[in-house]
């Protein structure tokens, strides 16, 4: 690491200010309003007893996610996908990523025949919305599972949540690997990567894309190292927010 200072004064391996407002929603079984700097995502978990038809009778649960962005979350207004009548490829891609990331830390047998849908709605965007969504969704998920246990939809001895999971973006800008890119950094990045890492430090997803020039193994390794460290930091925030075990 060099002592380069970024536009917002951060070190290259430093996260933006992270806040997690757990239990933001009065209605949802679990919820969190998470901020990664100027990126704010409202994550709500909806718990339903029962599973989709294709899973019925297998003794297993289901966790899925939907991601969306408010029309003026970004610098200029985007048309609503509901008005356009179809969901864009980017939205689909991110929804699927969040769902897979969460399922990686859930034991579906232990969850039993219950379904949890996590909605991640970006209220304000400044880069890293999908990683903030995953990180916040974990908190909402944890509370929804706790709710299900209290309501006896989940067995008292079951432990559906087998690990924590967090995500962060990393990228190379002017040849320098950096952690948790803000929007102004993201658009300048030559390589952009999102890593999803469990509490044990294992990878759930690694998605690296050369936006400019292709990247080599050494750069990839540097990015992964930054990402794993960033996710460990995020885990600390997650655990702190879940500390006073509430409902």
In angstroms, the CA 44 to CA 220 distance is 33
DSSP-derived letter for residue 132 is: H
Instruction: Record the tokens describing residue 129, joined without a space.
Output: 């919305």
As measured in angstroms, the least distance from the Cβ of 204 to its own copies is 5
Residue 128, marked binder: yes
Please tell me whether residue 81 binds its own copies under the rule CB under 8 A: yes
As measured in angstroms, the least distance from the Cβ of 220 to its own copies is 6
Contact 39, 123 (CB under 8 A): no
Pick between residue 11 and residue 87 the one whose CB is nearest to its own copies: 87
Long-range CB pairs of 147-151 (<8 Å, 24+ gap) are: 147/29, 147/30, 147/47, 147/247, 148/29, 148/47, 148/49, 148/111, 148/114, 148/116, 150/247
Strand partners, 192: 171, 209
Q: Tell me which of 2, 3, 53, 75 binds its own copies, using CB under 8 A.
A: 75
Contacts of 149 (CB under 8 A, 6+ apart): 155, 156, 158
Pick between residue 126 and residue 146 the one whose CB is nearest to its own copies: 126
Please tell me whether residue 224 binds its own copies under the rule CB under 8 A: yes
Residue 90, marked binder: yes
Contact 36, 18 (CB under 8 A): yes
Q: What mask of x and - would describe binding to its own copies in positions 129 to 158, judged by CB under 8 A?
A: ------------------------------
Closest CA to 236 of 41, 20, 10: 20
Contact 170, 185 (CB under 8 A): no
Q: What mask of x and - would describe binding to its own copies in positions 160 to 199, judged by CB under 8 A?
A: ---x-----------------------------x----x-
Please tell me whether residue 102 binds its own copies under the rule CB under 8 A: no
As measured in angstroms, the least distance from the Cβ of 210 to its own copies is 5
Please tell me whether residue 229 binds its own copies under the rule CB under 8 A: no
Q: What mask of x and - would describe binding to its own copies in positions 6 to 45, judged by CB under 8 A?
A: -------------------xxxx--x------x---x-x-
As measured in angstroms, the least distance from the Cβ of 78 to its own copies is 10
- The angle at the Cα of 230, spanning 228 to 233, to the nearest 5 degrees, equals 115
In angstroms, the CA 228 to CA 197 distance is 7
Numbered residues of the known binding site for phosphate: 90, 128-130
Judged by the rule CB under 8 A, the positions of this chain that interact with its own copies are 25-28, 31, 38, 42, 44, 46, 48, 66, 68, 70-77, 80-93, 95-96, 100, 104, 117, 119, 121, 123-124, 126, 163, 193, 198, 200-210, 213-217, 220, 224
């Amino acid at each position: 690491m060099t002592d380069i200072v970024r536009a917002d004064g951060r070190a290259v391996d430093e996260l933006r200010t992270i806040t997690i407002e757990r239990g933001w929603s009065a209605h949802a079984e679990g919820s969190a309003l998470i901020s990664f700097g100027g990126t704010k995502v409202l994550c709500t978990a909806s718990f339903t007893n029962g599973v989709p038809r294709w899973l019925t009778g297998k003794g297993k649960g289901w966790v899925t996610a939907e991601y969306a962005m408010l029309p003026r979350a970004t610098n200029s207004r985007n048309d609503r996908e509901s008005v356009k009548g179809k969901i864009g490829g980017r939205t689909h891609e991110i929804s699927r990523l969040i769902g897979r990331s969460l399922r990686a830390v859930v034991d579906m047998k232990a969850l039993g025949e219950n379904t949890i849908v996590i909605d991640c709605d970006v209220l304000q965007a400044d880069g890293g919305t999908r990683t903030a969504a995953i990180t916040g969704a974990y908190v909402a998920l944890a509370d929804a599972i706790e709710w299900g246990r209290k309501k006896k939809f989940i067995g008292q001895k079951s432990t559906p949540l087998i690990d924590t999971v967090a995500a962060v973006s990393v990228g190379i800008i002017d040849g320098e690997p950096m952690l948790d890119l803000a929007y102004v950094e993201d658009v300048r990045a030559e390589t952009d990567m999102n890593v999803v890492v469990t509490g044990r430090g294992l990878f759930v997803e690694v998605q690296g894309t050369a936006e400019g020039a292709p990247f080599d193994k050494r750069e990839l390794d540097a990015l992964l190292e930054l990402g794993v460290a960033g996710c460990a930091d995020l885990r600390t925030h997650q655990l702190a927010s879940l500390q006073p075990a509430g409902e």
